[in-house]
Structure 1
Amino acid sequence: MASPQQNQSASLGSDGDPRYANLDERKRKRMISNRESARRSRAKKQHRLDELLAEINNLQTENNAIMKKIDGATQMYVGAASQNNVLRAQLTELSDRLHSLNSVLHIAQEVSGLALDIPEIPDALLEPWKLPCSVQPITASFNVNMF
């Protein structure tokens, strides 16, 4: 059991002076308060870190979804451009055929002396480069790897 002298020494402070008794108690309370404040600060910091990590995951998921949409749109564009090129080649071939057939009809008309009803070839078919849509290939690809 503690002796009366030890109890009196504890109430007087570490130096045995009653002026320091409250100082030691205040110091102990301040240390406890500082520890609790530091614990709350660490918990708050960890919570914010968890929020940021969750946001990173969400943004990466959104980014992947957008990249898939871009890839799909790019594939659709490439398919449409390819089909457009095929149609332009067919247009050129058919325009050449039509021009050749009209030439044959003109020659037949001159040779036979008969009046034939030969339709005129529309200008757009004879000059496909003047069509409203020009062929401009896009060779750039969009591929961004993050993280």
Structure 2
Amino acid sequence: MLPEKVLITGSGSEGDDRCAKMDERKRKRMMSNRESARRSRMRKEQHMKELNNQVSYLKRSNNVIFEEMNSVRQLWSGVESENMVLRAQLAELKKRLESLEIVLSYMRSTSTSTSMSGCSMAISSQSMPLMAFSAGMSQF
């Protein structure tokens, strides 16, 4: 582009008008650029506010999830402890049942005398639930 002095040819008033028009265009362009920059800064500021709000929301959500996870972890620990106790009790009950079955078997084998035959029958009919219980316990 040629310098303004070179562009201005002819009479002085014509050059002044041309210079004034160019200055007016330049001023309008500067104002438009400033307004565009202001809008851009406003959009950027709004976007940053939205991002900060999103960060806050996600942090709160993360804290809620973390607290729920800790609560579930404590519940699981309690259930695990209770499960261990129940397994130990099951093992103890199985041992007791085996001992009772041994005693019952011994009583059946020694009750071959005629005086104990009635008693033997009573014991034999009562042992059926114990055997069924024992069979069911073997699944654990």
Same fold? TM cut 0.5: yes
TM normalised by structure 2 equals 0.74
Partner of 2:66, secondary structure, is helix
Give 5+ residue unaligned stretches, structure 1: 1-11, 132-147
State the 1:18 CA deviation.
Answer: 2.5
- Amino acid across the alignment from 1:42: R
- List aligned pairs for 1:64-75, cutoff 5 A: 64-75=63-74
- Number of matched pairs: 116
- 1:96 matched to 2:95? The reply is yes
Q: Which has the larger radius of gyration?
A: 2
- 1:21 matched to 2:20? The reply is yes
1:58, 1:36 → 2: CA distance? 33
Q: CA RMSD in A?
A: 2.0
TM normalised by structure 1 equals 0.71
1:67, 1:27 → 2: CA distance? 59
2:135, 2:73 → 1: CA distance? 33
- Amino acid across the alignment from 1:123: A
State the 1:122 CA deviation.
Answer: 2.9
* Per-residue CA distance 1:96-145 (angstroms, 9 max, x = gap): 111111101111221232423223143231x2xx33xxxxxxxxxxxxxx
- 1:49 matched to 2:48? The reply is yes
**Deviating 4+ runs (over 6 angstroms):** none
Q: Which is helix-richer, 1 or 2?
A: 2
1:72, 1:27 → 2: CA distance? 67
Percent identity, please: 42
